[in-house]
Amino acid sequence: MSEYKAINIRDFETTHYYKKISDEYQNDLKILTLIFPFKVNSYVLEHLIDWDNWESDPIFKLVFPHRKMLNEWQFHKLSQALDTNNEERIKKTIYEIWMQLNPHPEGQMDLNVPTLDNKKLFGLQHQYQETVIAFPSRGQTCHAYCSFCFRWPQFIGRKELKISLNDTTLLLDYLQSKPLITDILLTGGDPMVMNFRAFKDYLDPLINNIHTTNVQTIRIGTKSLSYYPYKFTTDAESEEFIRYFEYIVSKKLNLSLMAHFNHPRELEPDVVAKAIKRIRTTGAQIRTQAPLLKNINDNSKIWAEMWRKQVNLNLIPYYMFVARDTGAKQYFEVPLERAWKIFSNAYRQVSGVCKTVRGPIMSALPGKVQLLGKTEVEKNGNIIDAFVLRFIQARNPNWVNKPFLAKFNKHAYWLTDLEPLYGDNFFFQEQLSKILSPAEKLFNEDYESELNYSL
C-alpha cells in the first residue's frame, strides 16, 4: 500500500515535488492558498500527476490553484496587503475576496435549509422533494481539495459559512416528518474521509430506524476512489467499511456511491479497479459525475474515453455538470453552446451502455436544468436559433421534464444568462418567485395532490 499522508501547503514546500515547480509559481502559490483552500495527499502526488509536465498536467490543475483563478486586481490587492505585514489588513482583504467569490450560490444557506419544529436544520439541504442532503460534521474535509470545488467555503475555517450536522437524530426526525423523501445524499467535503467508527456512529441511528421513514436510497458523494482508493482495499479499516456497506444493502436499501472522476487519468492505477470490485461485491452501485472544466477536461475525446473506462470498470456514468457560479468559475467555465457540443460529440462516440449519462446540467436556483441542444424555430416570420432545455429536478416537481425554449446566446454560461424565446418570463419564473420564501413551504406535501401519477 502507498503510504497515505495528508499534505498542506507548508508540508508541500518540504517535498521534492516543490522543487519541480517554477520560482514564479512558488510565489503565486503562497498568495493563492490564502484564498483557495489547499490540501493534497501522497497518493495524488505519487500516482496521478506527471511532474515532468506539471504546468499542463490536468490533475495538477485539478488540485493546485492557479493565478488566473483570481482577477488581476484581486491578486494585486492581496499582494499589496501582504507587503504591509499588517495582519488586520491581510485578513480583511482575504475576507473581501471570499465574499466576491459568491460562497453559497443558488440559495444554499437561505432557501435550501429545512425547518423542523420552527428550528432551522443548518446541516441539511432540501431543494428537491424526494432528496435531502446531509453534511456529516466529521466528513467536512477531503482527501485532497479540488481547485474548482463549489463547496470551498466548507474548508476555509469560517464557521458562519460552513454546513454540518453532528446529530443524526435530527436527520431521522426530519425524515419521519417528510414521507415524500426517498433519497438521502451524504456529502461534504467527503464522508469517506471519516474513520470507520465515526462513519458507523453517524449512520447507525438512521439505518437501524430506516423502517420508520420512506427512505429507499442512501447516496454517498465521494472522491475517495480517485484520491485514495486504498480506503477500500488495504487501508486498516477497509474490511470494516466493506462489511458495513453489505449491512446497509441487507436492509433492502439501494446504496449508491456517487463517485467524482474528472479525468481518465484518475481511473488508470490498478488499485482503482480493485477498490471498485470490492465495493460492488457488497451490492452497492457506483455512479459517476463531474463538472465540465476548461483547462482540465473540456474535450469530447476525454469525456468519451472516461465514460468508456468507467463502464468497463462496471461504473454507471451519471452526470456532466456545468461549473457552478462560485469560486473561480471564470477560470473553469465554458459557454453553454460549447458545453453542449462537447457533451454531444462525446455522446456520439460511445455505445449505448455509456449513454446513462446526462448533461450538460446546471444545478441552478429553480432546479437541475439540462441543455438538450440548439434548434431552429420560426419567430415573427424568421428562422432563428434557440436553446432547448428541461428540468431533471426542480423545486416544483411539476416542472420536471417539460421542454422550454430560450433565445440562443453564444455568450451564455449559466441559466441566468438566458432569456425566454417567447414572452417576458420562462414558464416557471412566476411560481418560483412565490415559492422561494420561506423554504419550508416547498416541502409541505402540497405538491403531492397536484401530481398526476397515472395516465
- The CATH number for 222's domain is 3.20.20.70
**CA-to-CA distance for 63 and 44, rounded, in angstroms?**
9
- Predicted pLDDT of residue 453: 43
- Predicted pLDDT of residue 437: 61
Q: Are residues 366 and 267 in the same domain?
A: yes
Q: Are residues 264 and 207 in the same domain?
A: yes
Q: Are residues 78 and 204 in the same domain?
A: no
Q: In what order do the strands lie in the sheet with 404-407?
A: 124-128, 131-134, 183-186, 217-222, 254-260, 285-292, 316-322, 358-363, 367-379, 382-394, 404-407
To 5 degrees, how large is the angle CA 150–CA 153–CA 155? 110
The answer to whether residue 308 is domain-embedded is: yes
The answer to whether residue 78 is domain-embedded is: yes
Q: Are residues 281 and 342 in the same domain?
A: yes
The answer to whether residue 207 is domain-embedded is: yes
- Predicted pLDDT of residue 3: 60
For 254, phi then psi, to 5°, come to -85, 115
* Strand 115-116 to 119-120 pairing: antiparallel
- Predicted pLDDT of residue 452: 47
The answer to whether residue 1 is domain-embedded is: no
Q: Are residues 70 and 179 in the same domain?
A: no
The answer to whether residue 364 is domain-embedded is: yes
- Confidence bin at 114 (pLDDT 50/70/90): very high
- Confidence bin at 438 (pLDDT 50/70/90): low
Q: Are residues 267 and 315 in the same domain?
A: yes
The answer to whether residue 134 is domain-embedded is: yes
Q: Are residues 70 and 206 in the same domain?
A: no
pLDDT digits (tens, 9 = 90+) for 200-233: 999 999 999 999 999 999 999 999 999 999 999 9
- Confidence bin at 433 (pLDDT 50/70/90): confident
Kindly tell me if the per-residue pLDDT of 380 is higher than 90.
Answer: no
- Predicted pLDDT of residue 109: 75
Q: Are residues 317 and 260 in the same domain?
A: yes
- Confidence bin at 449 (pLDDT 50/70/90): very low
pLDDT digits (tens, 9 = 90+) for 115-125: 999 899 999 99
Of the three residues 74, 100, 126, the one that is the final residue of a domain is 100
Q: Which residues contact 168 (CB under 8 A, 6 or more apart)?
A: 202, 203, 204, 205, 206
- Predicted pLDDT of residue 274: 98
The answer to whether residue 252 is domain-embedded is: yes
Q: Are residues 274 and 402 in the same domain?
A: yes
Q: Are residues 172 and 248 in the same domain?
A: yes
Kindly tell me if the per-residue pLDDT of 242 is higher than 70.
Answer: yes
Q: How many domains does the chain have?
A: 2
Q: Are residues 237 and 179 in the same domain?
A: yes
Can you give the pTM of this predicted structure?
0.93
The answer to whether residue 105 is domain-embedded is: no
Q: Are residues 392 and 299 in the same domain?
A: yes
Range of the domain at 54: 6-100
- Predicted pLDDT of residue 385: 95
C-alpha cell at 419: 432569456
Of the three residues 100, 131, 146, the one that is the final residue of a domain is 100
